[in-house]
A and B are shown apart, each in its own frame.
Chain A
Amino acid sequence: MAEVYDRPPEKFKLRLRRYDPESGDAPYWDEHTVELEPHRSVLEAVLQAKDRYDGSIGIRCSCRQAICGSCGVRVNGEPALACHTHLDAAKAGAREGVIEVEPMGNMSVIKDLIVDMDAVHWKKIQRVTPWLIAKQPVPEREYIVSKESMVDVTQTMACIQCGACVSDCLAMEVDPGFIGPAALAKAYRFVGDPRDDQQFERLNDLAQDPQGIFDCTHCFKCVEACPKDVNPMGQIMRLRRIATSDHHIVDQNNGERHEAALTGLVRDYGLLHEAELIPRSYGGNSWFAKFHPAAGKELLSSLPTALKGVLRGKIGLKTAVFGHKIPSRDLKAVQSIYDKIESRPERYELNLYIAGEDEQLEKPSGDAVAAAVTHESGGKEPDTTEQGGRA
């Protein structure tokens, strides 16, 4: 571990996106060279530039340890917390070795790296009724609830409202009205909380809203962006599952039917049958769905897209009409997965928050300490230490 502490400062080049709303000038790039140990953060680098060369550089920050959620930016084009990004990792991912720091996306820039979180992020948080509506009667002492349920909602409680997920949400780019990853993760924090009285109402609200839980396009951007492993997309999927499987909410956006159609088709064909997807999503989950008027309308409107696909060779004509065929042995295997999962009395929920808990300890801890101590007093070869920074 001494390696980490022994690394000498190096020079790093920063290219900061600057914008001064009072100057009337367009945004521009501003370059500075800083000198810091490579495992220091991009935030420390920006602050060094600010302290030494130009005090007018604007960036929100406070804790320096990825907990206050102030310093969301884009580093080399990717959303991140500046204080949670090591300089060496950032440099490795940089073009021409120059670390680029820009304000987050999907929110308007106020000055330099500071964006308007109120107008977007906080407005959406307010949208999901972000407070507990406690089950009555309120007990005298604490609510008795399972340990697992509290650990589970703590994953979404761990959201620091940094906006990194909002910055690059694809659905939000297309539809700025989409409630978005952070606010929906916040919604799960109440939906998943056994002390909340309004699970159905909350879910129904989020399912019926055309910009609610079915508006997400599964692009994974929010999962990658999140510095706290909140896994917003995963929470959105859980909201959908609880809405549809537990509460049988059929939403006006056809989200539920679309999902049922998708899983139904994979069960029937072993692979997705695209041509059947729209009819089933709109007309009900059976082969006859295409004769439903709503389905017909939707089918007609999607015809140009499908035709383009056929013309460009993306969809074969035969597949388009009859669907994919897979060997019947494989189809049986797929169907047996369905049977197995559906026969479970309870749904399994994967909690990614507590990761790696079943990994085995490699060596007894006493040895680890002894090794480290000898090494510190100058004994053995230093072991290489993994650098845990994220780019």
Chain B
Amino acid sequence: MPEHDVLIIGAGLAGQRAALAAAQAGASVAIMSKVHPVRSHSVAAAGGINAAISVDDDWHSHAYDTVKGSDYLGDQDAIEIMCSEAPQEVMDLEHMGVTFHRNEEGEMDLRAFGGASMKRTAYVADITGQALLHVLYEQLMKHHETVARYEEWFATSLLLGEDGLCCGAIAREVRSGHMEAFTAKNVILACGGAGQAYKPTTNGLIVTGDGIAMAYRAGAPLMDMEMVQYHPTTLVETGILITEGARGEGAHLLNAAGERFMEKSAPNKMELASRDVVSRAEQIEIDEGRGVGPDGAGIFLDVSVVPRKRTLEALREIVNLGRDFAGVDITREPIMIRPGQHYIMGGVKTDVDGRTPIEGLYAAGEVACVSVHGGNRLGANSLLDTLIFGRRAGEHAAARAASMAMPGVDANAGLRRDAARIDAILARDRDGGGSASPRRVSEIKSELGETMNRHVAVFRNEQGLQSALETIGRLKEEAERAYVDDRGTVFNQDVLGAIELDFMIDCAETTVVAAIERKESRGAQYRTDFPERNDEQWLKHIDISLGGDGGAGRPHITYSPVTITQWQPEERKY
């Protein structure tokens, strides 16, 4: 049974940054990922990372923009930490080898991004996430003696000691099907978001909310789950993202009449208003019949107004995406986009050191909710979030490990339970053994995603949310009987898909419950039946945990206050 000071589940930016920090602090570290680390979805982040590194900039300005972007739901103490530590973090990454784009003077170049009051987004062409992720992986290869890597290992649950402390996890080696219990003094969850609970989404197929669900099942509270970001520019058919960097470089949004409709809702910032604002403006154009395309379901993004040389140099990846996934040369003609699910602001509730209320359990990155993004995340703040809080969690966990002994825990019960769960899935009857005939995992997943995208999207209302909740309840039952074709042990992606479906259903359920609860409009939560922001009643976080008064196995709602340090809520105008 492997034993480590710090076990990190997830090897995206948050997980790898945590691993590096913990190893540098002297801890013995294991990092586990269900795919090879460089396949983690952080790789898809295109646009860049925010930091007030320009001499004219000040982290307070970055913090203010973030607070305002969050629609005042972000916790200001956490935002201050993130924004004030950002410049050093970005410099550290530069020193590790990230090939940040330079200006003519050879200094780091910065680009404009939505919701920001000045240019403060550092970038590597439009492969920023990839460059960061690969450079961190270079560092893990360098530190291979102190960081054990468990690549293509799928965590199935967290291990809790008798005292309720978190002391490890159960996982299955994908390649062999072998199940193993990992003991650790601390566990850091860095499993990313839950975008696959939506269809379409900009997120990869592996982004299935595993960490959120594992923590929730272990008793950790989730926070801000109703806050789901729709990105304004995703390809109509596939949901593939066109980075905000495009608008940062000056691209326009046009409706069917060729109008820059952002004039109506954000006359100053235009296309570079916050994402929630832009997505809503687009959806209104579409809903009111001014959309483009065969069903009028799209909006034009016109990059051809950006100088072609600049586009080819700084937006190369989306030139390729346009060509390969939509058949459009974006340097010459507009491309059809629409708002699409992109990011979840909510997640496992943590403090500024990544600690969850369960001792020994940390979370960082998109899986976590510190909360720095509140109701709406600013573009290029998520990579920053993963790195700052990944590092802080790694450092804190290493320090905690140094002061304690390895917890004694009987992992066998957990191991047996998870192995039995997998066996039960494999043994499910294809014809339902008498009762209603079971469905395929893929069908249920598809219905779940479509339901979320219909009712829990840019605009929401009580009726739609209730019907979503009902559907999710049914899907949950169906998922318990869903059958798989693959009965093998080697790379059985089918059975892991069934487990992921359960994880996604938990995420979807808590999202809808929180969205029903919040009877106001703030950030990404826009209720057509409660169209105003209501600070008096709702300037607070919604926390959801399993059990409690909600009844066994049911979500239970509590509230926690928003931390305000220096910025009082104001009306939000762009």
Q: List residues of A whose CB falls within 8 A of some B CB.
A: 1-6, 20-22, 37, 39, 50-52, 54-56, 58, 60-70, 84, 86, 110-112, 114, 117-118, 125-126, 130-132, 134, 138, 140-147, 150-151, 153-154, 157-158, 160-161, 190, 193, 195, 353-359, 361-362, 365, 368-370, 372-373, 376-377, 385-390
B106 x A147 contact (CB < 8 A): yes
Point out the residues of chain A lying under 8 angstroms from B254, CB to CB. 369, 373
A56 x B488 contact (CB < 8 A): yes
A376 x B293 contact (CB < 8 A): yes
A356 x B293 contact (CB < 8 A): no
Is B178 interfacial (CB 8 A cutoff)?
no
- 26 A-B pairs, CB-CB below 8 angstroms? A1-B334, A5-B336, A6-B294, A20-B490, A22-B488, A51-B440, A55-B442, A68-B44, A68-B204, A86-B324, A110-B490, A126-B141, A131-B139, A134-B96, A141-B107, A143-B94, A147-B101, A147-B104, A154-B125, A357-B312, A365-B305, A365-B332, A376-B292, A377-B256, A389-B324, A390-B324
**Given A150-B102, A158-B130, A361-B332; A118-B151 close (CB under 8 Å):** yes
Is B399 interfacial (CB 8 A cutoff)?
no
B440 x A55 contact (CB < 8 A): yes
| Closest chain A residue to B87, Cβ basis | A141
Point out the residues of chain B lying under 8 angstroms from A118, CB to CB. 151
B305 x A64 contact (CB < 8 A): no
**Given A153-B99, A154-B124; A160-B130 close (CB under 8 Å):** yes
Docked pose: A37 CA to B331 CA in angstroms: 25
Other than A63-B205, A385-B328, give 8 A-B pairs with Cβ distance below 8 A.
Answer: A1-B333, A68-B39, A86-B324, A147-B103, A150-B101, A154-B124, A158-B130, A389-B324
B442 x A52 contact (CB < 8 A): yes
**Given A62-B39, A376-B256; A144-B107 close (CB under 8 Å):** yes
A64 x B308 contact (CB < 8 A): no
Among B233-241, B356-364, B537-545, the one that faces the other chain is B233-241
User: Most chain-B CB neighbours within 10 Å: which of A70, A125, A138?
Assistant: A70
User: Most chain-B CB neighbours within 10 Å: which of A37, A50, A142?
Assistant: A142
Task: Choose one: B41, B95, B236; the contact of A62 (CB below 8 Å).
Answer: B41
A1 x B309 contact (CB < 8 A): no
Q: List residues of B whose CB falls within 8 A of some A CB.
A: 35-36, 38-41, 43-44, 53, 91, 94-97, 99-109, 124-125, 127, 130-131, 134-135, 138-139, 141-142, 144, 151, 175, 204-207, 236-238, 240, 254, 256-258, 292-294, 300, 302, 304-305, 308-309, 312-313, 316-317, 320-321, 323-329, 331-336, 440-443, 446, 484-494, 497
Docked pose: A354 CA to B310 CA in angstroms: 10
Point out the residues of chain A lying under 8 angstroms from B497, CB to CB. 55
Q: B566 to nearest A CB, angstroms?
A: 27
6 tightest A-B CB contacts, nearest first: A132-B97, A388-B323, A56-B486, A51-B442, A62-B204, A55-B485
B485 x A56 contact (CB < 8 A): yes
Docked pose: A44 CA to B321 CA in angstroms: 16
Point out the residues of chain B lying under 8 angstroms from A357, CB to CB. 308-309, 312-313
Point out the residues of chain B lying under 8 angstroms from A134, CB to CB. 95-97
Q: B113 to nearest A CB, angstroms?
A: 19
Q: A268 to nearest B CB, angstroms?
A: 41
Task: Choose one: A56, A141, A356, A376; the contact of B312 (CB below 8 Å).
Answer: A356
| Closest chain A residue to B487, Cβ basis | A56
A2 x B294 contact (CB < 8 A): yes
A373 x B131 contact (CB < 8 A): no
| Closest chain A residue to B96, Cβ basis | A132
B304 x A365 contact (CB < 8 A): yes
Task: Choose one: A62, A142, A388; the contact of B327 (CB below 8 Å).
Answer: A388
A67 x B491 contact (CB < 8 A): no
B43 x A110 contact (CB < 8 A): no
Q: A208 to nearest B CB, angstroms?
A: 22
Docked pose: A6 CA to B294 CA in angstroms: 7
B102 x A145 contact (CB < 8 A): yes
Point out the residues of chain A lying under 8 angstroms from B294, CB to CB. 2, 5-6
A373 x B292 contact (CB < 8 A): yes
Count of A-B contacts judged by CB separation below 8 Å: 241
Task: Choose one: A1, A138, A157, A386; the contact of B95 (CB below 8 Å).
Answer: A138
Task: Choose one: A4, A145, A146, A157; the contact of B328 (CB below 8 Å).
Answer: A4
| Closest chain B residue to A85, Cβ basis | B324
| Closest chain B residue to A159, Cβ basis | B134
A369 x B131 contact (CB < 8 A): no
A70 x B35 contact (CB < 8 A): yes
Point out the residues of chain A lying under 8 angstroms from B316, CB to CB. 353-354
Docked pose: A312 CA to B228 CA in angstroms: 72
Q: A267 to nearest B CB, angstroms?
A: 36
B324 x A368 contact (CB < 8 A): no
Docked pose: A115 CA to B450 CA in angstroms: 33
Docked pose: A261 CA to B207 CA in angstroms: 54
Docked pose: A2 CA to B300 CA in angstroms: 12
Docked pose: A368 CA to B96 CA in angstroms: 43
Docked pose: A193 CA to B104 CA in angstroms: 17
Docked pose: A193 CA to B99 CA in angstroms: 9
Task: Choose one: A2, A60, A368; the contact of B293 (CB below 8 Å).
Answer: A2
A387 x B102 contact (CB < 8 A): no
Point out the residues of chain A lying under 8 angstroms from B313, CB to CB. 151, 354, 357
A67 x B312 contact (CB < 8 A): no
Point out the residues of chain B lying under 8 angstroms from A131, CB to CB. 96-97, 138-139, 141-142
Point out the residues of chain A lying under 8 angstroms from B446, CB to CB. 51
Docked pose: A390 CA to B323 CA in angstroms: 10
Task: Choose one: B134, B151, B308; the contact of A359 (CB below 8 Å).
Answer: B308
B292 x A84 contact (CB < 8 A): no
Point out the residues of chain A lying under 8 angstroms from B124, CB to CB. 154, 157
Docked pose: A134 CA to B97 CA in angstroms: 8
Docked pose: A58 CA to B538 CA in angstroms: 47
Task: Choose one: B100, B258, B486; the contact of A370 (CB below 8 Å).
Answer: B258
**Given A4-B327, A142-B107; A373-B308 close (CB under 8 Å):** no
A63 x B43 contact (CB < 8 A): yes
B35 x A60 contact (CB < 8 A): yes
| Closest chain B residue to A121, Cβ basis | B36
Docked pose: A195 CA to B40 CA in angstroms: 27
A63 x B334 contact (CB < 8 A): no
Docked pose: A81 CA to B336 CA in angstroms: 24
Point out the residues of chain A lying under 8 angstroms from B493, CB to CB. 55, 58
Point out the residues of chain B lying under 8 angstroms from A193, CB to CB. 97, 99
Task: Choose one: B96, B151, B327; the contact of A1 (CB below 8 Å).
Answer: B327
Docked pose: A68 CA to B312 CA in angstroms: 21
B293 x A150 contact (CB < 8 A): no
A368 x B333 contact (CB < 8 A): yes
Q: B161 to nearest A CB, angstroms?
A: 33
Docked pose: A69 CA to B484 CA in angstroms: 26
Point out the residues of chain A lying under 8 angstroms from B108, CB to CB. 142
Docked pose: A172 CA to B254 CA in angstroms: 51
Q: A10 to nearest B CB, angstroms?
A: 15
Point out the residues of chain B lying under 8 angstroms from A114, CB to CB. 491
Q: A220 to nearest B CB, angstroms?
A: 21
**Given A20-B488, A365-B304; A65-B35 close (CB under 8 Å):** no
Point out the residues of chain A lying under 8 angstroms from B489, CB to CB. 22
Docked pose: A1 CA to B294 CA in angstroms: 11
**Given A62-B205, A66-B320, A373-B292; A5-B236 close (CB under 8 Å):** yes
Docked pose: A274 CA to B486 CA in angstroms: 58
| Closest chain B residue to A51, Cβ basis | B442
Docked pose: A373 CA to B313 CA in angstroms: 27
B485 x A385 contact (CB < 8 A): no
B327 x A386 contact (CB < 8 A): yes
Point out the residues of chain B lying under 8 angstroms from A356, CB to CB. 312
**Given A4-B326, A63-B43; A144-B99 close (CB under 8 Å):** no
B107 x A65 contact (CB < 8 A): no
Docked pose: A110 CA to B332 CA in angstroms: 44
B99 x A154 contact (CB < 8 A): yes
Point out the residues of chain B lying under 8 angstroms from A60, CB to CB. 35, 39
A67 x B130 contact (CB < 8 A): yes
Docked pose: A252 CA to B223 CA in angstroms: 63
B490 x A21 contact (CB < 8 A): yes
